[in-house]
A and B are shown apart, each in its own frame.
Chain A
Amino acid sequence: MTFSRGARAAHAVAIIFSLTGLMCLAACGGGGGPVTLIGASVTIQLTPTFPGSTTSLGPGASANIQATVFDPNNKGVTWSFSPPTFGALSDPTSTSVTYTAPASFPAATTVTILATSITNPNVIRSIQIPTSPITVSLAVPGISTPLIPLSDQTINQGGTLDIQALIANGGVFPVLTWTLAPPTGAGSLSPSGGGSLVNTTSTFVTYAAPATVSSPTTVTVTATSADSDVSASFRITVFPSGGGSNVAVISVNGGPVPGQVYKNGAFINGVTICNPGQPPAGAFPFPVCQTVNGILVDTGSYGLRILQSAIPSLKLPSLTNADGNILENCYAFPDGSYLWGPAATADVYVGGLNASSFINGPSAAVPVQVISSRINGGVPDSCSNGGANLNTPEQLGANGILGVGPEPTDCTLAGVNFCDGSAQAVPPNVYYACPTSGCLPADSPVLANRLQQVTNPARAFNANGVVINLPAVSGAESSVNGTLTFGFFGVAPGATIYTLDANANFTTVFNGQNLTRSFIDSGSNALFFPDSVPVCDDNTQFFCPPALTNLSASNQGATQGENVIDFAVDNADNLFSTNPGFAAFSTLAGPSGTGSCASGAGACTFDWGLPFFYGRTVYTKIDTCSPDICSPLFAGWWAY
């Protein structure tokens, strides 16, 4: 005899019923007197009552649980709970109990309350009680919501910033303490209703910046719940000028990787990245977010690329193509290295700006690239192309790349979209579609529509471009701070617009060479150009002239803008050995190509890397061309 799985189960049930019948014959007795009923005749129904209108318990809060018991013997239930050391039960009766959450706990925990029939201990009913820890969150009213961790902010000297704290699960009048670090010399905090900052019920305070600062000064504001050590904090950087809600601090500080000094890299800190959309039903409405430091600001690329290792709590949803396959993205660096990983949507917050589906609906989330240290499947050969995969912080020297150059997505150039099929039918090596098992080396690229392409975050913030402002550096400095401003209205008096050609380049004339493929790139470590200056023995990517060498070049926009740049080149080996640990070098330069580019016919390039930005205000305007309508000022341009 053979059973199918269903038939076998039915057979087993039949055997259990037979055994129950036999047991009843032995134990149930008969005749007169009370009849003790066993089994299905007992039912229990549990109903919780939470304080107020909450649906979960905060620290020390209690819920009452009522048991409605159908039991012919009228004996009710006994109570237990799990996890057994998380909180306590009190006032148990045969039909009710009170559960009290622990006075303090670090993470949301679901407690199971068990009611066991006294008449028949085999009848157990359970109910789950969610508990939520005290959470403290901060916001700047008018520009952010306390439901999202507050990004770093900037203001100007003499300015003020209103700050609001939201304490969840802290009771009706939660008590908190506000602190400022450093406590003196960097402005002051005052509760909006007056009184103390310590053990106060004031959830609104005002930060007043110093009347004057000689250089950018950063303070940290922290609000700590008095009932626990839970706190929230954010940084405010006070600038002599140029701060604001659309302004973020950038730091040439050696980068985020311990033990590594990234030279001439400008990093943005305090970028808040969240899983997009609304949180799961039933959860307190905090999206899952992480604040990331050490993202390289790069005007030589377009789009936010983030290492998964920098957002371990997030699982950003990958974009998929029409077949349901994961849309993978490839970023090829000019030096042959690459970044590989899925295009995914994220909510992104910088300063007072957001690209947030949580606030503005699903279409407001921004496509980003997520790079994992563990490759799923393989990388297509046409992406890896013989180069190195920079999928760790150590190799990238950063936790991500903020590509804020003059194009809206990573597949556009002067109004032409190369990846959506509008300009060409053959997909370039940028997007791939692969099953969840990953890609294979032989896989070919696919087309990707505009809305799925990794997008310039400035564009996602509805800004027309960015302005980068870094202080002058005299030779070498350990670190410098500047600003990244999203969006601008015109350029300052004295700044000149340099229009770009169809390749987003302009021309630099240097030493008799017409370098027609020149560009400004905050992501390059130095100025790179063809010259006969000797290269270094140790740091062979840089020049090592015998002494500081003064040079000059002329930048010429495609249709407008011309200006002479004086710059100096120093001996990189000496610079590095005499300034160990320093991050900012204004006289760092290196070779790009060799020999003469006098004819200008070839790929002759002056790469104006980060040293160009020192002591300048550099505007990057994003290309707004369409394939049909494009003029030099519609296209991307630089101004400085």
Chain B
Amino acid sequence: MKTSRQGKIHYVRVGEKWTGVVLVILVLSSHGFAVLGGTSESVQADQVQMKARLKSTQADSYAVHEITVPTGTVIREYVSPAGQVFGVTWQGPFVPEMRQLLGSYFQRYSVAAKAQRESRVGRQPLNIHEPGLVLQTSGHMRAYFGRAYDPELLPAGVSADDVQ
């Protein structure tokens, strides 16, 4: 386990007021991170494993864990006040392990991604819009981006645009 880590306050605008959100940046030597839809227990388990500190200053905002996996891709987890991961994003030179990132949403992602690919020829970003799962990807070789969230898990006052 690398000990290199840092934390900084990151502000995001929610509704009409500025809300403090803690952005915890972690550099991990393992691939461990919380998954979409995971509970506060999984987040806390990660925190313990990462020896990371997480501060939450507002009950009506959300926290962002920023994790750099050893191969350089940055993963952000968006955690509701109730401690649930309602969104994840990734950007970096390699696609993260989707099964680990998406947890119980992985199978739906896989079915939808394959179905879109089989229905058309050509190359374009992936856009999955289903009840309970929005997933979008783009990028090119060695620079991949994506985000996934469950619209039904968005905390009050938080917009899908915040997951980015």
Given A387-B114, A528-B124, A592-B136; A597-B164 close (CB under 8 Å): yes
Contacts of A412 in B (CB 8 A): 142
Contacts of B59 in A (CB 8 A): none
Q: Assess whether B71 is interfacial by the CB under 8 Å rule.
A: yes
Mask: chain B, 85-121; 1 = CB below 8 Å from A; 0 = not = 0000111011101110000001001100110111011
Q: Assess whether A366 is interfacial by the CB under 8 Å rule.
A: no
Interface residues of A in 253-287 (CB under 8 A from B): 255, 257, 260, 262-265
Given pairs A301-B140, A426-B70, A593-B138, 20 additional interface contacts (CB within 8 A): A300-B123, A334-B139, A335-B125, A336-B98, A336-B113, A336-B126, A337-B117, A388-B118, A397-B122, A410-B142, A411-B142, A428-B94, A429-B97, A517-B139, A519-B139, A519-B143, A524-B124, A539-B120, A541-B127, A594-B134
Partner of B160, one of A334, A595, A599: A595
Q: How far is the CB of B2 from chain A (nearest CB, A)?
A: 11
Which B residue's beta carbon lies closest to that of A301?
B141
> Complex Cα distance A592/B146, Å?
10
Q: Assess whether A214 is interfacial by the CB under 8 Å rule.
A: no
Q: Assess whether A4 is interfacial by the CB under 8 Å rule.
A: no
Q: Assess whether A505 is interfacial by the CB under 8 Å rule.
A: yes
Q: Identify the stretch in A86-94, A147-155, A378-386 within 8 Å (CB) of chain B at 4 or more residues.
A: A378-386
Given A525-B124, A591-B127; A386-B98 close (CB under 8 Å): yes
Given A424-B71, A528-B138, A601-B164; A541-B120 close (CB under 8 Å): yes
Partner of B136, one of A388, A390, A430, A593: A593
> Complex Cα distance A217/B123, Å?
29
Q: How far is the CB of A542 from chain B (nearest CB, A)?
A: 8
Q: Assess whether A172 is interfacial by the CB under 8 Å rule.
A: no
Q: Assess whether A605 is interfacial by the CB under 8 Å rule.
A: yes
Contacts of A263 in B (CB 8 A): 122
Q: Assess whether B16 is interfacial by the CB under 8 Å rule.
A: no
Interface centre among A331, A334, A595 (most CB of B within 10 A): A334
> Complex Cα distance A461/B138, Å?
30
Q: Do B145 and A603 touch (CB < 8 A)?
A: yes
Partner of B125, one of A385, A425, A528: A528
Which A residue's beta carbon lies closest to that of B13?
A599
Q: Do A334 and B117 touch (CB < 8 A)?
A: no
Which A residue's beta carbon lies closest to that of B122?
A525
Q: Assess whether A302 is interfacial by the CB under 8 Å rule.
A: yes
Contacts of A336 in B (CB 8 A): 95, 98, 109, 113, 117, 126, 137
Interface residues of chain B: helix, strand, loop or mixed (majority): mixed
Given A388-B117, A430-B94, A602-B89; A413-B142 close (CB under 8 Å): yes
Q: Do B143 and A517 touch (CB < 8 A)?
A: yes
> Complex Cα distance A388/B116, Å?
10
Q: Do B70 and A333 touch (CB < 8 A)?
A: no
Q: Do A526 and B164 touch (CB < 8 A)?
A: no
Q: Assess whether A343 is interfacial by the CB under 8 Å rule.
A: no
Q: Do B142 and A596 touch (CB < 8 A)?
A: no
Given A387-B110, A390-B117, A395-B117; A525-B123 close (CB under 8 Å): yes
Given A336-B137, A504-B140; A541-B124 close (CB under 8 Å): yes
Q: Assess whether B65 is interfacial by the CB under 8 Å rule.
A: no
Q: Assess whether B157 is interfacial by the CB under 8 Å rule.
A: no
Interface residues of chain A: helix, strand, loop or mixed (majority): loop
Q: Do A413 and B89 touch (CB < 8 A)?
A: no
Contacts of A216 in B (CB 8 A): none
Q: How far is the CB of A579 from chain B (nearest CB, A)?
A: 16
Q: Do B71 and A335 touch (CB < 8 A)?
A: no
- A–B pairs, 6, beta carbons within 8 Å: A332-B144, A334-B146, A428-B71, A428-B72, A602-B145, A602-B164
> Complex Cα distance A430/B141, Å?
11
Contacts of A257 in B (CB 8 A): 121
Q: How far is the CB of A257 from chain B (nearest CB, A)?
A: 8
Interface residues of A in 588-632 (CB under 8 A from B): 590-597, 599, 601-605, 607, 609
Q: Do B113 and A388 touch (CB < 8 A)?
A: yes
Given A336-B113, A504-B140, A601-B164; A426-B146 close (CB under 8 Å): no
Contacts of A521 in B (CB 8 A): 140
> Complex Cα distance A264/B159, Å?
35
Q: Assess whether A58 is interfacial by the CB under 8 Å rule.
A: no
Partner of A334, one of B72, B106, B121, B138: B138
Partner of A428, one of B93, B109, B137: B93
Given A403-B141, A541-B120, A592-B136; A603-B126 close (CB under 8 Å): no
Contacts of A428 in B (CB 8 A): 71-72, 93-94
Q: Assess whether A523 is interfacial by the CB under 8 Å rule.
A: yes
Q: Assess whether A503 is interfacial by the CB under 8 Å rule.
A: yes
Interface residues of B in 36-56 (CB under 8 A from A): none
Q: Assess whether A328 is interfacial by the CB under 8 Å rule.
A: no
Interface residues of A in 282-304 (CB under 8 A from B): 300-302
> Complex Cα distance A468/B121, Å?
22
